[in-house]
A and B are shown apart, each in its own frame.
Chain A
Amino acid sequence: MTVTAGWYMALAAALFVIGGGGLLLRRNALVMFMCIELMLNAVNLTFVAAGKAVGNLDGQLATLFVVVVAAAEVTVGLAIIITVFRKRATASVDELSGLKG
């Protein structure tokens, strides 16, 4: 059996769903953030696989940009988590329900 692009995409889908489930199930802000990273990586894999299937470099370039943006996002996101932790001394997102109602 040859491994076609489709296999990679299926694997990526599985990773994506696992990441999504983790996002919803875990309370720790850091773990949730890491789940988001997992989902982004899954999407990157899909892009590259699709790019391979099409035959040009577009998929890889898209992935490149996603990597850049994800890095920036991680920077800012972690800064926020740290600030929140300083104020509230908790990393559980369930406690951050000030916008209720």
Chain B
Amino acid sequence: MVDYVWIAVALPLLGAALLMLFGKRIGEPASGYVATLLAAASFVIVAIAAADFFTGGNHGEQVSLFTWIPGLGIEAEFLWDPLAALMTMVVAGVGSLIHMYSIGYMHGDERYPRFFAYLNLFLASMLILVLGANFAVLFVGWELVGLCSYLLISFWFEKPSAAAAGKKAFVVNRIGDFGFIIALMLIFATFGTLGFESIFTRAGELLEDGGVTVTVITLLLLVGAAGKSAQLPLYVWLPDAMEGPTPVSALIHAATMVTAGVYMVARTSVLFELAPFSAGVVATVGAVTALYAATIAIGQKDIKRVLAYSTISQLGYMFLGVGVGAYTAGIFHLMTHAFFKALLFLGAGSVIHAMSDEQDMDKMGGLRQVMPRTFATMAIAWVAISGIPPFAGFWSKDEILAATFNHGGFFVVLWVVGVITAALTAYYMSRLMFRTFWGESRWAEGVHPHESPGSMTIPLIALGVLSAVGGLINTPWRLSLEHFLEPAFEAVELAHAPEGSTPWILAIISIAAAMVGIWYAYRRFLVGEAPEEKGGVWDALLNGYYVDDLYGRTIVLPGKAAANQMAFTADAKGIDGAVNGIGALVGRIAMMAKPIQTGLVRNYGVGILGGAAVLVLVILARGVWL
């Protein structure tokens, strides 16, 4: 069955090509249907292919598609193991739902077919990323999703803010990629190959436990992951990426692309196992980012920005999970987060769509009765992300927190950070819900919200169901997911929740934290007068602690100055000057030689006879002809 997995990649790729070339002719909404069907077909293929793993114990196979770079021994090959299967199902499944949603959401846009072409291309790229059997293929997918992110963020490129956001995303990503590439170079230098199979089986021999090489490699891999998954300090592109259409935010910046970093760390678990220091750094970065982003989220006014910072925060949880060695827990949270965050974004899109593209929560309110289906599904997601059982978010988040606590020592501090973040998460999500759906309607003039069409609400309902029950696949009584993923993580020791009654206590603490957050929001926004949220601290939060300004002044400005210097001085004057100078020089030499051509036959005759005399002289001197 693994031999047919490549079709799952080829179909959306084909769709992208088709829609790029013939999109205009196919038109709306047919191009949307084509793209969605191809995405759904992709999902069906990977789901069928994953059937092998449901019984557990199957290790997975590798299939080589073609020889790519013979000189470095790199093949284009796919690895089909439980981890890849899970990732592809999440990506293709949630992706298909979002494709379907976009049919309705992007209605009326003049570049409708191209949007779907990009979406399909993204799907294919993400599949390539998670299916890669070596770092090279993974990196190709990595770069391609970065490209698609750029294309989709700046989809409405007539808006300068959108174009700038796309550029920012790409550039910040690139910084992460820089670290990633150096890590790849080191890996190649150490192992002589980039294939996962050969690296992970030999890692134990070639790298010393806790040694410098492996620590450097893994830290650099973390840099790459941080760029892609928006962790400190490379997270600044994600809030701005909300300039893109909401389905883009849902798909790329919530459910799939940003999780590529987590996937990559999980995939290279063997290496992280050998570098406990780096693993600790991963966990710390994750926890700190989670808290940091949650604090910013509580001060945001734009509904999508709240969700963006929420994504950064939840990604921090995932990093915390894989950092302490709870790889399955981290991937589990990746999956549940995909469900409820995509749902939240799509719901927000539904709201924005209904409010005639209004995104400021200050101008919303009282949408409960007007948009019942959107409200109901978003409510499910709200409860899920807050970590209230039995909804999805609780099981995954709790498992991460329990495993962190179990690690002991310094990690208990991280556990505390995680719990605080959980409280903040519950708070800002409740704030979002209360401001948007409850209370008096603060709508602007001429806004008439209405429920969204079926093509938009069906995916919402589907994701709602998944957010509700999705967590049940890995409860402490039935660790189905862990067993599913076990073959992929055979080589490492998975961190677990502690034994005995400790996990129950921990669970109760985290639930309590969530309830505190919800209650506090309830008191502030529903019972009393909604507060103004202005002033020093609130402004700082609204502007994300002014980090963007900081980066702007310290990095962007010098960068621009250097670029100007290169472009206008070094290039225009220096290089162009040199080239033009040569041309001018040749011209001048020619002008100097011009008088030789007088046009008079007699002058030429003198030349000819003179030449003849010289020839005679040569013959005389040498005795022979030349």
Contact = CB atoms under 8 A, between A and B. Distances in A.
Interface of A: 20, 23-24, 27, 32, 93-94, 96-101
A17 to B, nearest CB: 9
B602 interface: yes
A84 B188 CA distance: 79
B598 A97 contact: yes
B334 to A, nearest CB: 78
Contacts of B609: 20, 23-24
10 contacts: A20-B609, A23-B605, A23-B609, A24-B602, A24-B605, A24-B609, A96-B601, A97-B599, A100-B597, A100-B600
Nearest to A20: B609
A94 B602 contact: yes
Given A24-B606, A24-B609, A98 B601 contact: no
B594 A101 contact: yes
Given A24-B606, A24-B609, A101-B594, A93 B599 contact: no
A98 B599 contact: yes
B605 A99 contact: no
Ordered nearest first, which 3 A-B pairs have the shortest CB separation?
A100-B599, A97-B599, A99-B599
B600 A93 contact: yes
Interface in B581-621: 594, 597-602, 605-606, 609
Nearest to B606: A24
B597 A93 contact: no
Contacts of A96: 599, 601
A67 to B, nearest CB: 22
Interface of B: 594, 597-602, 605-606, 609
B594 A93 contact: no
Contacts of A98: 599
B297 to A, nearest CB: 78
Contact of A100 (B598, B602, B605, B606): B598
A81 B540 CA distance: 96
Contacts of A93: 600-602
Contacts of B599: 96-101
Given A23-B609, A93-B600, A96-B599, 14 more contacts: A24-B602, A24-B605, A24-B606, A27-B602, A32-B601, A93-B601, A94-B600, A94-B602, A97-B598, A98-B599, A99-B599, A100-B597, A100-B600, A101-B594
Contacts of B602: 24, 27, 93-94
A27 B609 CA distance: 17
Contacts of A20: 609
A49 B399 CA distance: 117
Nearest to A32: B601
A100 B606 CA distance: 16
Contacts of A94: 600, 602
A26 B600 CA distance: 12
Nearest to A93: B601
Contacts of B605: 23-24
A97 B606 contact: no
A93 B598 CA distance: 12
Nearest to A23: B605
Contacts of B606: 24
A19 to B, nearest CB: 10
Nearest to B600: A97
Contacts of B594: 101
Contacts of B598: 97, 100
A97 B599 CA distance: 4
A32 B600 CA distance: 13
B198 to A, nearest CB: 72
A88 B475 CA distance: 109
Contacts of B600: 93-94, 97, 100
Contacts of A97: 598-600
A99 B594 CA distance: 12
Contacts of A24: 602, 605-606, 609
Contacts of A100: 597-600
Nearest to A25: B602
A89 B370 CA distance: 102
A43 to B, nearest CB: 12
B163 to A, nearest CB: 54
Contacts of B597: 99-101
A93 B601 CA distance: 7
B592 to A, nearest CB: 13
Nearest to A98: B599
Nearest to B601: A93
A79 B244 CA distance: 82
A97 B600 CA distance: 5
A94 B605 CA distance: 12
A99 to B, nearest CB: 5
A23 B602 CA distance: 8
